[in-house]
Amino acid sequence: MAKLLGGITTSHIPAVGNAIANELYEDPYWKPFFDAYPPIHKWLAKVKPDVVINIYNDHGLGFFLDQMPTFAIGAAHEYHNEDEGWGLKPLPPFQGDPKFSWHIIEGMVADEFDITSCQELAVDHGFTVPMQLFWPGLGDNPNMPRAIPISANTVQHPIPTLKRALDFGKSLGKAIRNYPEDVKVVVLGTGGLSHQLDGERAGFINREFDEMCMEKIVTDPEALTKISRHELVEKAGAQGTEFLMWMMMRGALGEKVNVLNQNYHIPISNTGAGTMLLECVD
């Protein structure tokens, strides 16, 4: 049976991709951000997941405002990154696991989640930046796992509630654990935390709210489901809605988790950047 090892959170802002490309790991602006990742690299090298489920939000590459699925799951043999602007160089394809993808899709539809299944999917920085952060060198990294992308709508309102996101994660976790093959799995919850990129509140960051979310997502994620979508935008900013992808990840992990590492740093590209490594408790 598949084994769910844990979950990891990270920001996925495109500026990180440029910082990686330019090797700015020791730059004073970037160092407090990048210092969060070596302990996670050590953990990943130790546990060696076979598959990573990367929960992200598309920013107009795979989907756009005219057709924005609430939840989409990749079922392709590989996933291509294309030029999306931002000065980011396209990366080589990421290997998929279509058999595992279809198992997850079947299980979640059985749980009455309406899933958009994607046999082709272009992945943007929301997907690629976390992969670069956690597996430096990507294809040259001997521990690089197969990938299953899950895209959530955080852009086109109405977006999912935090309760729906957590429930999605619970169904996802059940499907993972029911997979009959012996594979080790890690789940990424990407994006956020608080930030707003436009309008009168451009540059808005709410550290107090971010730190509360980082605490509650470990100890009492159900309490976070009481936050309405309107309140989430008010407290975390228009793009802070990406926190719902952390909730999707957390739901998959089960009732109890151990916090192995965490970091919070501002400002990185006007974003409250949170990183957490959560280990499943059997």
201-217 pLDDT, tens per residue?
Answer: 887 889 999 999 999 99
Q: At what angle do helices 162-177 and 243-253 cross, to 10 degrees?
A: 40
Distances (CA, A) of 195 to 35, 82, 172, 267: 21, 25, 27, 10
Question: Could you give the percent of the chain with pLDDT greater than 90?
Answer: 79
Pairing of strands 184-190, 51-56: parallel
Q: Residues near 75 by Cβ (< 8 Å), separated by ≥ 6? A: 96, 98, 101, 102, 105, 117, 118, 119
Residue 177 phi, psi (nearest 5)? -70, -20
- The answer to whether 245 touches 56, Cβ cutoff 8 Å, is yes
Check residue 173 and give its pLDDT: 98
Question: Which CATH number applies to 3-271: 3.30.70.141, 3.40.50.970, 1.20.120.550, 3.40.830.10?
Answer: 3.40.830.10
Mean predicted confidence (pLDDT) in 246-258 = 97
Mean predicted confidence (pLDDT) in 141-145 = 92
81-103 pLDDT, tens per residue?
Answer: 987 776 778 889 999 999 999 99
> From the centroid of its chain, how far is CA 45?
19
Residue with the bigger pLDDT between 12 and 172: it is: 172
Mean predicted confidence (pLDDT) in 229-252 = 95
Check residue 63 and give its pLDDT: 85
- The answer to whether 13 touches 193, Cβ cutoff 8 Å, is no
Residue 101 structure tokens: 């993808």
Residue with the bigger pLDDT between 169 and 18: it is: 169
In the block, residue with structure tokens 């997907």? 127
Q: Give the DSSP per-residue string, 238-277.
A: TTGGGHHHHHHHHHHH-S-EEEEEEEEE--SSS--EEEEE
Provide the residue ranges of all domains of the chain, joining segments of one domain with +: 3-271
DSSP-derived secondary structure letter, 138: G
pLDDT at 282 over 80: no
Reported confidence tier of residue 48, pLDDT bands at 50, 70, 90? very high
What sign does the dihedral 223-229-233-234 (CA atoms) show? negative
DSSP-derived secondary structure letter, 35: T
Q: Residues near 211 by Cβ (< 8 Å), separated by ≥ 6? A: 264
Mind telling me the catalytic residues? Answer: 125, 195
Helix (H, G, I), strand (E, B) or coil at 44: helix
Reported confidence tier of residue 255, pLDDT bands at 50, 70, 90? very high
0.75 surpassed by pTM: yes
Helix (H, G, I), strand (E, B) or coil at 34: helix
pLDDT at 56 over 80: yes
pLDDT at 61 over 90: no
